[in-house]
Chain A
Amino acid sequence: MFETIKFLIKKLAQDRTAAIGVFLILSLILIAIFAPILATHPADITEFHPPERLQGPSSEHYFGTDRMGSDIYSRLLYGARITIAIALIAISVSVVIGVPIGLLAGYYRNWVSDALMRVSDIFLAVPQIILAIAIAQTLGPSIQNVILALSATYWPFWTRLVYAETRSALNEPYVEASIALGASPSRVMILHVLPNISSSIIVRTTIGMGGTILTAAALGFLGLGPPPPSPEWGRTIAESREFLPEAWWYAAAPGIAIFLVVMGFNLLGDGLRDILDPRTRRSKGG
């Protein structure tokens, strides 16, 4: 286990674009953890100072202040926590639901597998934003509901991926040999197929994080996410709309933050794919 992680890190360091991705993600995580220490005005998450509203970037307020006079920089740092929480939980739920369904659908070749895939097709057909609006209307806008909307529409991606990979893994000689030896389906699926398709899952998950964050920001922008005074990035951009283009820092700061995080995940995902998937590896050997 540890050798694979060390190997991964070494390989990632060699690939420059992947290294940038790693740097961005690590920064994101560190910022989220150390937000209280790094923030200059930690109290501004809940407090507001109307007299200081809409000031440009300065030495006191690195990214300026918002319409309530709160320090945008500090709110951004705390917003990172929300972003990570949403992305992490939504993706985890999707993976936990999607992967087992994909395994079952891929392993069995009967009506069960057809039924599971049709169910996943149905969920895929649901537009995320519409579902999120519906949930927000009935249950009220909150961080949990964003996660709910995202998970409900995202899990089929993992199911499809795992389904296809399982089908092809079943043709591998070592899987056939295990089945011939008398291994039960669960043993084959969990101990043989899953470890061998894990690299595709990891790559898809990493790249999926970027998309999740973007969608979460979009939902926040539409007002479906955590309500004010939450420093969620999408909501901050929405708030800034009426003050543009004069208060450019108000939208630029969260916008650039989202951009960097999503790009970080995409670069990391690309790097991981190049390392883990032998087929797309930029091969030098003949």
Chain B
Amino acid sequence: MSSDKINNNLGGVEIPTGEPILGVKNFSKWFPINNSWNRQTGWLKALDNVSLTVNKGEIVGIVGESGCGKSTLGKTIMGIHKLTEGSVNFEGSEIGHLNPSESRQLRRRLQYTYQDPGASLDPRWKIGRSLHEPLEIHTTLSKVEREKRVKAILTAVNLPEAHLDLYPHEISGGQQRRIGLARILTLHPSLIVLDEPTSGLDVSVQATILNLFLDLQKQFNLTYIFISHDLSVVRMICDRVAVMYLGKIVEINETEKLFSNPKHPYTQSLLSAIPVIGGKKVTENFWLEGEPPDPSNLPSGCSFRTRCPKKTDQCLQSPPPLTSTSGEHSVACYNT
């Protein structure tokens, strides 16, 4: 336990920009399905053989609809769920199979926020106390030194010191969000998983939040994994995007290339579903029918074949592997 707290300088392995900082390989997370007698009847394959590399300084988007596994991916990387198979490599160390207390030191530079970071503030705690908490947990800094760091972070997110004595409900929603992010930043993380960070936000506020993320990225030299169901937002801020369907990554590419030239049929249907103001109406041309199959009972071969216009016999037999085509592009389909 005490070995977790020796590192007062909050040092860690410094990865140079552009080099892989997080590597996920053959990653699976299966949840057991129990019937009413608590006997296992099957597996829910929330994540199935997912591989992904994130480079330092990047913003990688993970998109997909409900049930695709993007949130599970974020949580399993963080250790909130224990992974079933595969490996997670962060800053050179393998963290996948360690339990939370073993990996606490290694995981300190890997942080997570779900939806509204402002909701992570305990409503009965003063903001100052909430900001001290990460440092209390992970370091042995004295109160004075923690206070210094906390004040520095507040300045970095452009908020006044007076906020330290206020309660969360006494400041605005947008400011709460910034405090929530500041709280994570006290530990000087190198990679932050943002899980649905713009969900529920009004459009006029979205832009402000995205700008905040970009500013913080520059200031703190951060890398982001940006999980969202909102493709338009992802398009604005991500360098690369991975599209997920029923637990697998079906396509990854640089953002603009993915949006202008999607190759996987699911990606194509997903992009064509987004309303474009001033353009052709989606409702007149949308072709994707039906709904995703039950995730506990996936079809054999490619999971998308039940709705895919391009399916062939090969698609029934085995799931297509994620194959690299050119540059940053990989796609999992036999028929592109």
Contact = CB atoms under 8 A, between A and B. Distances in A.
B117 to A, nearest CB: 8
Contacts of A9: none
A181 B116 CA distance: 15
A182 B121 contact: no
Interface residues of A, number: 15
Contact of A182 (B107, B119, B122): B107
A5 interface: no
Contacts, number: 48
Contacts of B307: none
A173 B100 contact: no
Interface in B102-160: 104, 107-108, 111-116, 119-124, 133-134, 137-138
A174 B118 CA distance: 9
Given A173-B119, A182-B107, A182-B138, A195 B124 contact: yes
Interface string A50-83: 0000000000000000000000000000000000
Contacts of A195: 122, 124
Given A181-B137, A183-B137, A176 B114 contact: yes
Given A173-B114, A173-B116, A176-B114, A181 B133 contact: yes
Nearest to A174: B122
B80 interface: yes
Given A173-B114, A176-B114, A187-B137, A182 B120 contact: no
A46 interface: no
Q: Is the interface of A mostly helix, strand, loop or mixed?
A: helix
Interface string A156-194: 000000000000000001111110111110010000100
A196 interface: yes
Nearest to B79: A180
A182 B137 contact: yes
Nearest to B104: A182
Contact of B80 (A175, A178, A180): A180
B143 to A, nearest CB: 16
B17 to A, nearest CB: 26
Contact of B112 (A175, A180, A183): A180
Of residues B78, B113, B114, B124, which shows the largest number of chain A Cβ atoms within 10 Å of its Cβ? Answer: B124
A167 B123 CA distance: 18
Nearest to A173: B119
Nearest to B1: A184
B108 to A, nearest CB: 7
Interface in B163-185: 180, 183-184
Of residues A174, A175, A192, which shows the largest number of chain B Cβ atoms within 10 Å of its Cβ? Answer: A174
Given A180-B112, A182-B104, 13 more contacts: A173-B114, A173-B119, A174-B122, A176-B114, A178-B133, A180-B80, A181-B133, A181-B183, A182-B108, A182-B137, A184-B137, A195-B122, A195-B124
Interface of A: 173-178, 180-184, 187, 192, 195-196
